[in-house]
Amino acid sequence: MKRISVLLASALIFVACNKAGNISVEVANIPDGSNVELQTIEIGAVAPTTISKAEVKEGKVVFENTFNDLDEAYIVFGSEEEPLGAVPFVGEKGDIKIFYDKEELTKIKVEGTEANNKLQELQSNMIPKIDELKAFLNDNGLALMMPVDENDQEAVKNRAAVEQKYEAMVQELENYPANFKEKNKNTAIALLILSKEVPTKGKTAKEYQEEFDAFSIDLKSTLLGKKTQAAIKTLTESKTAVPVIGEKIGDFKGTTPAGEELSLYDYMQGKKLILIDVWAAWCGPCRKENPNLVKAYKLYHDKGFDIIGYSLDRTKEEWEEAIAKDGLTWTQVSNIAYWNDPIVSAYGIQGIPASYLIDGNGVVIATNLRGAALEQKVKEVLGL
């Protein structure tokens, strides 16, 4: 009897030590009954895989934490048809707490484990910078878009100062994760940041590999480490280089709504400045950005600015409906292949909208410009 009791106690201790914990989610401004999914991304995949599903009940959802290894993870609210947002976090053993307010994104919190506490620190430090940029655009957005009388030297000087300030703020925000990574070398959060940088930061596969090799064997052996190594390997073996500023962009092919096959290199012929816009009808941020593209196209098309849209849609009907509804009058192509489209791996696309501003020879000038920043760069390149 005593031996059985000892064995039972040992078994209970073993179970307790191996229980990964819970992922507790609390929400605001999301109705009860809304779908919530726990997701991750498998090695070599682009589209996420759903681990578990639940519904919001009394503003809460609890998932069993099944992460036994360091991994990237997401809590996704709503559905593809009616998305309500998502929260990235680090999948690892322990109790993880997540708070998500659909109307107040600055209130998002992820905490409970060492890596997630660091992730929260990163996000908390970036929020004031994002708020500062928003306030700056509220005060100066119109001034950035309005034409300036080149004969008014004071106006030209003021405009240049505003543009310089804007560029500096955007650059600081874009560089912050990399700087945070440098301050937290050889940690889980640094590995997570590197995994999201590959291959979007325009570095060579060798540069990414050297940075990855600097991590400890323990971190490199985690699932997140294996995913990062796989992404670097894919970049190394890729036949088409990920777009790098100052280098010629890789070619692609797609089919227009009329059924004509068109390559980028054929489209480039005789053009001065081209924006490659990778988007989809189902992508909310893409649809929100479309009015800015329509505006820029109307203003600068006659001056030499062109756009070619590349859609990651799932059906031709959804694609064509979005083109018509958003008033996209420029050239459009698609393979109707969703995330399995060749451009995703060729260009290293991890999210959309993704855009590449190139000259008539295909040399990349800038990437992922939005709104006023796009207009500013177009005018600069065209000498307007």
Q: How confident is the model at residue 198 (pLDDT cuts 50, 70, 90)?
A: confident
Q: What order of strands is seen across the sheet that includes strand 35-40?
A: 49-55, 35-40, 71-78, 83-91
Percent of the chain with pLDDT over 70: 91
CA–CA separation, 149 and 374 (whole Å): 20
pLDDT of residue 17: 42
Q: What is the per-residue pLDDT across 246-258, written as a single tens digit (0 to 9) for each?
A: 989 999 999 999 9
Q: How confident is the model at residue 240 (pLDDT cuts 50, 70, 90)?
A: low
pLDDT of residue 249: 93
Model confidence at 11: pLDDT above 60: no
Q: How confident is the model at residue 156 (pLDDT cuts 50, 70, 90)?
A: confident
Model confidence at 18: pLDDT above 50: no
pLDDT of residue 241: 61
Q: Which residue has the higher pLDDT, 311 or 5?
A: 311
Q: What's the whole-number average pLDDT of the chain?
A: 87
Q: What is the per-residue pLDDT across 339-349, written as a single tens digit (0 to 9) for each?
A: 888 888 788 78
Residue 193 CB contacts under 8 Å (≥ 6 apart), including other chains: 122, 177, 178, 180, 181
Q: How confident is the model at residue 199 (pLDDT cuts 50, 70, 90)?
A: low
For residue 201, report the phi and psi dihedrals to the nearest 5 degrees. Answer: -95, 5
Q: What DSSP line would sit under 313-342, residue for residue? A: -S-HHHHHHHHHHHT--SEEEE-S-GGGSH
Q: How confident is the model at residue 93 (pLDDT cuts 50, 70, 90)?
A: very high
**Are 108 and 123 spatial neighbours (Cβ–Cβ below 8 Å)?**
yes
Note the helical H segments in 185-328. 188-197, 205-213, 217-220, 223-237, 264-268, 284-300, 316-326
Q: Which residue has the higher pLDDT, 149 or 66?
A: 66
Full set of structural domains in the chain with CATH: 18-107 (2.60.40.10), 117-237 (no CATH), 253-382 (3.40.30.10)
CA–CA separation, 167 and 147 (whole Å): 18
